[in-house]
Chain A
């Protein structure tokens, strides 16, 4: 399928309307998107990105009463035999919808490289920059009528999701705490003056285009201006505004930037955004691991659990893949300053929705802290699973700008997570 190009922008203009936020508008848009063949795959991805490398032992893979737990306790979840670390009580209640991979293995133990690997499914490679999974979705599943970017990073970390070889237009649109308006989306000028400015701009553009028409078009500069203007005046922009939600719901998600980010993510996928990444940083616990993680869980637990529940209650969970994890895990041994260090062999990832089965646990780490978990899932396998869930063939070939042919993912989907729930 073709990327969002200049014609695409023009086409969008026809479809967009003020009815977008209403369920009818959403339904109409879905119908317009794939005439004749309704998609039975997930439509969107929400990635709760735990930047820094969260400790699996204090989150999704506790080993209570062992040496490696170093005192961490666990709580029972809604699924028999599955326990989460204390602090994730609310998430534990939603386990019927959530599955865990406890045997993630990555080859990257450095934050930047690990983040690259987890977000793209590939190891960093000097000859090509791979697109992150959200960029792939936007590229492969274009949507008519998009006024706002389809790939969004809320509270972006140092390395937000990128378009890579698919192009910068697939980079995640970065925005901060939804408590304040999206930056730079209003000129704060009276309409007349704004209109005049645009007329001025046209005059300057026409002068420059002489003798350069095709190449100026290829820059997509004017299309980006049109896209920016469309976004500025769009009703869809309201999807960022979490204050439009009832207070009780906001409280359920947690009155934190991350909680508001998760709530905004739900609102955004409702208007057709493909991928939202919400970052919670601070997991790099080389010192004082237990207390730091416990503190972070007070933010993560309400937000994650409220998101799953909210999506389910609105019937959105079936078409939304929710992921929660970071670039790697942390060592089973505790270092002399009470911290855990980087551990890319045997860490956890939580998945939910989008046709992914709930209540499953894939893989198992060693209670004595040995590496090499049972039934390991590689980073490419994780990506192949997610891509399959959204209906994209992981093995699809693509040309990079320097002419190399690469797949979207080199991995194999985890069969136990996919397939119709039984």
Chain B
């Protein structure tokens, strides 16, 4: 029996060595390049919407006498798209694929490549879920956040029309395990009120997430400059006044929506009532179905605008109108919002089309550096690409991707994905998750820097170990210039400047450290730079 154990041992070790060897050798034959739909970009209506949005920005810039930045290099735009759509940076492998294409095809191909990637559905679903149900766990037994996010992922992967998704969120019936959309309602279940959903929170969510209105401010007082009244918010809440939780899950039954007057404590019955455009309200269906019909009605002016502003924010890391859920302001709204919203509602609320539109706009493709350094004013008008702090999972995803040569995607081995997941969770906990308020201008903090400079995630990904890019670059790069260039591409998605090249070539030639250690230190510097942790 000893020989069988020996055989097993030899097989295991041999297999392990083969795997490591395979992983060490860079992929020689790149994966087949994803096809992309050129028609989507050449459609006259698509071009027209992009052109009109661009023209509206240029007019704003010239009125304000703001200089627009130069167009950004393709690789930088590709980095923004990867961060916005899949929450990580492009892999070295992907950069190589991109560069094999003719210049004019690169970005459309890249965009479609990302949209077809399962990582897009996963990442975008999580971002949207924060808006719909928040980042935290909800009431025990009544809420299944994971189910909800998976359901959104599937909707995105199939590119379901956005209005249909929203109708399900507002009006679907059933158990939160079986009909995941109902988690939108059940997350508000109140333990101290027999687990019934909270109409006030639901009305607040609906107006903020789907209409970009902060009607819930009117919960306590009349709105300072918009025309919303307290009664408007109460009337909207009343659409959830017949929503209950029972054995079959969320359902609409009977009952009235009764609130207590804040001052007199006298209970009063509130009839459902929409704050504007009552003619759009369907006259049949349950209260929630009526509300869903009204919210997603093509003539409801806020629905498409709110979606455009949200998707814009996810791509730019900054909303077109700030804050993202408050479109009703006394300041003027950029005309591009309406141009994009019109295209969105007249093309079946196609989220991918909207993403392609925004990503094709001139504003998205501008550099983040400006002549004369007058960027602060220009940034507000999107005449220069804004500098924004990346979200924790974008940083973590970036570190992991930058330190790996191949693409880390759904096709990666489960063992590597699990390991990555573990690393990431610990990192997110320490880095600080910015929860729902994700587009506030934020500065970096000392604990974040400590974590990046000395923390386990970065250390384990950049140190000179087999499978890490630093080791592979150190072993494989034919010379120092190539090693420096490869590291820059992997971490910052660009090539080094002349000054950087000179510095790092000299540093790599210094022999008081081993070559893998020197490459590790190069990676450390790249990953700890402002450029790495800020979208730009």
Interface residue A295 (Cβ < 8 Å from any Cβ of B): no
Judge whether B192 and A109 touch: CB under 8 Å: yes
Task: Indicate if the CB atoms of A228 and B449 lie closer than 8 Å.
Answer: yes
Q: Is the CB of A219 within 8 A of B526?
A: no
Tell me the complex Cα distance, A200–B523, Å. 10
B437-A129 in contact (CB<8A): yes
Cβ of A85 to closest chain B Cβ, rounded Å: 26
Q: Does A337 contact B (CB under 8 A)?
A: no
Taking the nearest CB of chain A, how far is it from the CB of B519, in angstroms?
11
Q: Is A358 an interface residue (CB 8 A)?
A: no
Chain A interface main SS type = helix
Please tell me the number of chain B residues within 8 Å of chain A, measured between CB atoms: 62
Interface residues of A in 193-230 (CB under 8 A from B): 193, 196-197, 200-201, 203-216, 218-222, 224-225, 227-228
Residue among B379, B513, B529 making CB contact with A204, cutoff 8 Å: B529
Q: Does B332 contact A (CB under 8 A)?
A: no
Q: Is the CB of B499 within 8 A of A207?
A: yes
Contact for B447 among A174, A205, A208, A219, CB less than 8 A:
A174
Min CB distance, B415 to chain A, in Å?
26
Query: Which residue on A lies nearest to B531, using beta carbons?
Result: A208
Other-chain residue from A110, A168, A209, A212 in contact with B432 (beta carbon distance below 8 A): A168
Task: Give B70's nearest chain A residue, CB to CB.
Answer: A211
User: A356 vs B437: C-alpha distance in the bound complex, in angstroms?
Assistant: 37
Residues from chain A with Cβ under 8 Å of B499 in the complex: 203, 206-207
Checking B192, B216, B503, B529 against A208 with a beta-carbon cut-off of 8 angstroms, the contacting residue is B529
What CA separation (Å) do A210 and B497 show in the bound complex?
Answer: 11
Bound state CA distance, A196 and B507, in angstroms? 9
B432, B492, B529: which contacts A171 (Cβ < 8 A)?
B432
B443 contacts the other chain (CB 8 A): yes
Nearest-neighbour CB distance to chain A for B235, whole angstroms, equals 19
Residue B375 lies at the interface, judged by CB distance under 8 Å to chain A: yes
- Could you mark each residue 427-465 of chain B with 1 if its beta carbon is under 8 Å from any beta carbon of chain A, else 0? 000101000010011111111111101110000000000
Residue pair A126, B443 in contact (C-beta under 8 Å): no
In the complex, the answer to whether B521 meets A196 with C-beta atoms within 8 Å is yes
Q: Assess A219 versus B534: contact at CB under 8 Å? Given A149-B447, A168-B443.
A: yes
Cβ of B227 within 8 Å of any chain A Cβ, yes or no, is no
Stretch from A61-69, A96-104, A183-191, A257-265 that touches the partner? A183-191
> At the interface, yes or no: B283 with Cβ under 8 Å from chain A?
no
A231 within 8 A of B: yes
A5 CB to nearest B CB, Å: 10
Find chain A residues with CB under 8 A from B453 CB.
184, 187, 225, 228
Q: For A127, what are the chain B residues with a Cβ–Cβ distance below 8 Å?
A: 214, 217
A283 interface residue per 8 A CB criterion: no
A211→B373 contact, CB < 8 A: yes
B529 touches A201 (CB 8 A): yes
- Contacts A193-B521, A197-B525, A204-B531; is A220 near B444 (CB within 8 Å)? yes
Q: Residue B175 at the A interface, CB < 8 A?
A: no
Q: Return chain A residues, CB-CB under 8 Å to B441.
A: 401
Tell me, rounded to whole Å, the shortest Cβ–Cβ distance linking B463 to chain A. Answer: 11
A275 to B382, CA, bound (A): 40
CB distance from B67 to the nearest CB of A (A): 12
A200-B521, A211-B371 given as contacts; is B448 within 8 A of A225 (CB)? Answer: no
Kindly list chain B residues whose C-beta atoms are within 8 Å of the C-beta of A224. Answer: 443-446, 448-449
Interchain nearest-CB distance for A187 vs B (Å): 5
- Of A168, A206, A211, which is within 8 A of B370 by CB? A211
Q: When the two chains form their complex, are residues B430 and A174 in contact, meaning their CB atoms are under 8 A apart?
A: yes
| Residues of chain A lying within 8 A (CB to CB) of residue B398 | none
A187–B451 Cα distance when bound, in Å, is 10
Choice from B430, B504, B513, B530 contacting A219 with Cβ under 8 Å: B530
**Looking across the interface, which residue of chain A has its beta carbon closest to that of B453?**
A228
Binary interface profile of B, 382-395, with partner A (CB < 8 Å = 1, else 0)? Answer: 00000101000000
In the complex, what's the smallest C-beta–C-beta distance from B92 to chain A, in angstroms? 18
A24 at the interface (CB under 8 A from B): no
> 7 A-B residue contacts at CB 8 Å?
A112-B136, A126-B204, A183-B450, A185-B454, A212-B387, A214-B373, A228-B446
7 tightest Cβ-Cβ pairs between the two chains A and B: A211-B369, A200-B525, A228-B449, A220-B443, A221-B530, A184-B454, A184-B450
Q: A126-B214, A168-B442 are in contact. List 10 more A-B contacts (CB 8 A).
A: A126-B208, A197-B521, A200-B524, A200-B525, A201-B525, A204-B526, A205-B531, A208-B529, A211-B370, A215-B387
